[in-house]
Amino acid sequence: MTDKEIKLPFPTPPIWKLLNIEVIEMFRGYGRLVMPFHKKLTQPYGIVHGGAIFSLADSAVAIAIATVVEPKTKFVTVEMKINFLKLVKEGVMEAKARVLKVGRVIPAEAEVFNNDKLVAKAIATSIILDENNRF
């Protein structure tokens, strides 16, 4: 199943095209996204740059949150912390995000896997924007 078949809760983000991020699965409070290894994502040691992995994890969080808020509700990540556990040099990265609490402030967590091993873990806080698109 690819995101061509999954109806995204928002237009495809341009950065997803840049990084080749795709939604694989989503249901209430949960999102699973993938990003294949590509040389363009790497830092000088040939490993995937932390920023690419963060982007994938943050995107998974956004999908998970989009499933628990009203349609067209806008929200943004106000902070995220990520621990990198293993270096990624090949294969596909898969992020699984889960909403920890529904409310005005929405904490969520994400785990990133590569070859079935946990390579990163993140906790994020998002907030619903007010009527002026502010937070």
Contact 49, 95 (CB under 8 A): no
Nearest to 22 by CA among 44, 43, 1, 41: 1
Minimum Å gap between C-beta 122 and a copy of itself is 8
d(C-alpha 33, C-alpha 16), whole Å = 10
Quote the strand ranges of the chain, DSSP E: 22-27, 30-36, 75-84, 92-99, 105-114, 117-128
Asked if residue 80 binds a copy of itself (CB under 8 A), the reply is: yes
Tell me the closest approach of the beta carbon of residue 10 to a copy of itself, in angstroms. Answer: 4
Among 55, 64, 94, 110, binds a copy of itself (CB under 8 A): 55
Does 59 interact with a copy of itself (rule: CB under 8 A)? yes
Which of 6, 36, 77, 91: binder of a copy of itself (CB under 8 A)?
77
Report the C-alpha gap between 66 and 59 in whole angstroms: 10
Tell me which H or E stretch contains 5: none
Under rule CB under 8 A, residue 11 binds a copy of itself: yes
User: For binding to a copy of itself (CB under 8 A), which residues are involved?
Assistant: 10-15, 17-19, 39-45, 47, 49-52, 54-56, 58-59, 62, 74, 76-87, 100-101, 103-105, 107, 109, 118, 121-123, 125, 127, 130, 133-135
